[in-house]
């Protein structure tokens, strides 16, 4: 995204997707990409997302307010820790949020590619 916040935006993306954590950065990138795709933005990072994560990621991307303790319990039940769930949730929220931001900026610019201009 080429704008006055590009440096801060990239720092946020790097912190969520590339910093050390409990989950592999490749998985975080794949989760971000899947969430972005669900929210309307094609992504260049198309990695594998384990099937057991897909329903949760879809819920976070499209209806985050509907997540419940049951969603977290289901992920814990298949072996994900609290920290892993947190990192995956942040990655999914980042993908969905950035996709919506880009769509909104494009709409404000009259349909032009919001990422290509200041």
| Closest residue by Cα to residue 2 from 111, 106, 110 | 106
Least confident of 19-23, 67-71, 72-76, 104-108: 104-108
- CA dist 24 and 19 (Å) reads 10
pLDDT over 60 at 114, yes or no: no
What φ, ψ does residue 49 adopt, rounded to 5°?
A: -110, 120
**Sign of the Cα pseudo-torsion (61, 100, 47, 87, in order):** negative
User: Hunting for tokens 């072996």 — which residue is that?
Assistant: 79
Please give the mean pLDDT across all residues of the chain: 88
Question: In this predicted structure, what is the pLDDT of residue 118?
Answer: 45
User: What pLDDT, in 10s, does the model give residues 29-50?
Assistant: 999 999 999 998 876 666 899 9
- How far apart CA 11 and CA 107 sit, in angstroms, is 25
Domain 6-111 class?
A: mainly alpha
Predicted model pTM: 0.85
């Amino acid at each position: 995204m080429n704008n006055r916040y590009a440096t801060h935006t990239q720092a946020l993306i790097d912190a969520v997707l590339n910093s050390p954590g409990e989950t592999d950065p490749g998985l975080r990138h794949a989760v971000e990409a899947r969430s972005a795709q669900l929210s309307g933005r094609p992504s260049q990072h198309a990695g594998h997302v384990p099937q057991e994560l897909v329903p949760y990621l879809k819920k976070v991307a499209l209806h985050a307010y509907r997540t419940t303790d049951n969603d977290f319990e289901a992920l814990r039940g298949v072996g994900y820790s609290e920290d892993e769930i947190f990192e995956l949730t942040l990655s999914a929220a980042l993908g969905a949020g950035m996709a919506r931001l880009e769509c909104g900026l494009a709409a404000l610019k009259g349909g032009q590619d919001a990422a290509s201009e200041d």
